[in-house]
Amino acid sequence: MDFAYDAKTEELRTKLLAFMDSHVYPAEAVLEQQLRDAADPWERQPILEELKAEARRQGLWNLFHPEHSDGVTNLQYAPLAEITGRSPHLAPEALNCAAPDTGNMEVLTMFGTDEQKKQWLQPLLDGEIRSAFCMTEPEVASSDATNIATRIERDGDDYVINGRKWWSSGAMNPNCAIFIVMGKTDPDAERHRQQAMILVPRDTPGVTVKRAMHVFGYGDHAHGGHAEIEFADVRVPASNLISGEGEGFAIAQARLGPGRIHHCMRLIGMAERALELMCRRATSRVAFGKPIAAQGVVHEWIAESRVRIEQARLLVLKTAWLMDTVGNKGAHTEIQAIKIGTPSMTEWVLDKAIQAHGGAGVSQDFPLAELWAATRTLRLADGPDEVHRMSLAKRELKKYL
Ligand SMILES: Cc1cc2nc3c(=O)[nH]c(=O)nc-3n(C[C@H](O)[C@H](O)[C@H](O)COP(=O)(O)OP(=O)(O)OC[C@H]3O[C@@H](n4cnc5c(N)ncnc54)[C@H](O)[C@@H]3O)c2cc1C
């Protein structure tokens, strides 16, 4: 067993670390300023476009996609995504590796027709447009995807869509041109064959982006927000259906595996950044006659953070290796394990880093509060913890039944 990164990974890491230092970290304050000054905070900020151009020029582009990144594997991508997680509002999008576009590009790569790829995949790969994935609905418990109630009904050469979605990440951004919408084509079919996915251009009549959901009060402008969207008699050509009627559930499953590991890779970067900030702060302030870092309780937080981060990283890397060697299905248990373990690990480290900062930890002067909010949502998004635990436990129990 070799725990070292291979030569290609090391080369890309070196390049990416330099890009983070020279371009991304200095851009964090610029992005904040541009968002504050913007007439419309949902418009793309110029700093993002500058970073994208530079990342592309340096060959740090679409690294998540093996066919469009010189064949970077999941195992090679994991340490790179981790680095981008240190600045989650800027770095993933700068490299065109941000959710939900990555998952949507994977769906179009795996299931799209040539025409769908030309019209939607190519501009996404080029970073010209963005996309949203519309599955969750306000009216039903959407952690059980078979509850999804939006209707996709065939009418001549078209499909007609009616329903309401929320938490469609990225959809507040006017440059988010295409929605992948999940709905039911046949409510009477077998439970997992009722659903389909369909491409709905944002400007189709009947599509109304109603409002932005807040996350602990944050608008999440840099990520294009999380929209509630109404679909009222929305008519699109039948050729917009992805794969076929009844395939929606299977496509959702195929989409979520890689999406989940990408989140976990970035979460490790967030935890590393939190630990770094905790150590810097604790060594730079004195309370009750000694540096905060000299308090036993702070040693405990720092040591425990390092242990938890290393444990999570090893499991994420093993999962990435399994996905490369036996496929996403073969890595199913590990994908669930990291989706359960990594957000709560990062949440724990962030909580301790916030505590070590005192009031500054929850303020706008440090990224910790916003990172904590983003991390907490990942115990819900892409499936709540409890659903992954249920499914993992069932698999484990199967061995004994
Ligand atoms: C920031 C953010 C971004 C998101 N982005 C997107 C997106 O881009 N596209 C999209 O479609 N959705 C998105 N979501 C939605 C997310 O995927 C859903 O919130 C999630 O799947 C849960 O669905 P729900 O909110 O309907 O909760 P419900 O299904 O109502 O579940 C509520 C709670 O019930 C409990 N529960 C459910 N099932 C079980 C069980 N079997 N055992 C024990 N307890 C259980 C869990 O604690 C769960 O949290 C996002 C959510 C957030 C917060």
- C-alpha of residue 146 to centroid of ligand 1, in Å: 13
pLDDT reported for residue 145:
92
Give, for ligand 1, the residue of 380, 389, 392 to mutate: max count of ligand atoms closer than 8 Å to Cβ: 380
Helices and strands in the chain: count of H runs, count of E runs: 13, 10
**Cβ atoms of 60 and 19 closer than 8 Å:** yes
Pairing verdict, β 130-134 and 176-184:
parallel
- Which long-range contacts (C-beta less than 8 Å, at least 24 apart) are formed by 373-378? 373/215, 373/216, 373/218, 374/88, 374/215, 374/220, 374/270, 375/267, 375/270, 375/343, 375/346, 375/347, 375/350, 376/216, 376/343, 376/347, 377/215, 378/263, 378/267, 378/342, 378/343
Is the pLDDT at 220 greater than 90? The verdict is no
Residue type, 186: D
Give, for ligand 1, the residue of 131, 134, 135, 136 to mutate: max count of ligand atoms closer than 8 Å to Cβ: 136
Query: In 3-state terms, what secondary structure has residue 43?
Result: coil
79 within ligand 1 shell (Cβ under 6 A): no
- Short-list 271, 350, 345, 236, CA closest to 83: 271
Q: Taken in order 232, 233, 238, 239, is the CA torsion positive or negative?
A: negative
150 within ligand 1 shell (Cβ under 6 A): no
Predicted confidence band at 41 (pLDDT cuts at 50, 70, 90)?
confident
331-370 pLDDT per residue, tens: 999 999 999 999 999 999 999 999 999 999 999 999 999 9
Predicted confidence band at 221 (pLDDT cuts at 50, 70, 90)?
confident
Please give the CATH number for the structural domain made up of 249-398.
1.20.140.10
Percent of the chain with pLDDT over 70: 100
pLDDT reported for residue 68:
83
- C-alpha of residue 107 to centroid of ligand 1, in Å: 21
Largest CA distance in the chain: 79
Residue type, 299: H
Predicted confidence band at 43 (pLDDT cuts at 50, 70, 90)?
confident
Name the token pair of 387. 């659903």
Q: Which fold has domain 129-242?
A: Butyryl-CoA Dehydrogenase, subunit A; domain 2 (2.40.110)
The mean predicted confidence, pLDDT, of the chain is 96
Is the pLDDT at 7 greater than 80? The verdict is yes
Q: Which CATH number fits domain 7-109: 1.10.3720.10, 2.40.10.120, 1.10.287.3510, 1.10.540.10?
A: 1.10.540.10
pLDDT reported for residue 327:
92
Mean pLDDT (whole number) for 8-24:
97
269 dihedral zone (left: phi>0; alpha: psi -120 to 50; beta): alpha
**Cβ atoms of 27 and 47 closer than 8 Å:** yes
Predicted confidence band at 261 (pLDDT cuts at 50, 70, 90)?
very high
Mean pLDDT (whole number) for 132-156:
97
pLDDT reported for residue 223:
85
194-210 pLDDT per residue, tens: 999 999 999 999 999 99
Q: Whose CA is nearest to atom 18 of ligand 1?
A: 381
Is the pLDDT at 71 greater than 90? The verdict is no
Domain ranges of the chain: 7-109, 129-242, 249-398
pLDDT reported for residue 321:
96
Query: In 3-state terms, what secondary structure has residue 366?
Result: coil
pLDDT reported for residue 258:
80
pLDDT reported for residue 95:
97
Query: In 3-state terms, what secondary structure has residue 237?
Result: strand
- Short-list 340, 333, 348, 325, CA closest to 385: 340
Q: Is 30 exposed, middle or buried (0-12, 13-18, 19+ CB in 10 A)?
A: middle
Predicted confidence band at 312 (pLDDT cuts at 50, 70, 90)?
very high
- C-alpha of residue 169 to centroid of ligand 1, in Å: 13
pTM higher than the cut 0.85: yes
Spell out the alpha helix ranges (H) of 112-164: 114-116, 122-125
pLDDT reported for residue 66:
83
Q: Which residue has the tokens 């060959």?
A: 59
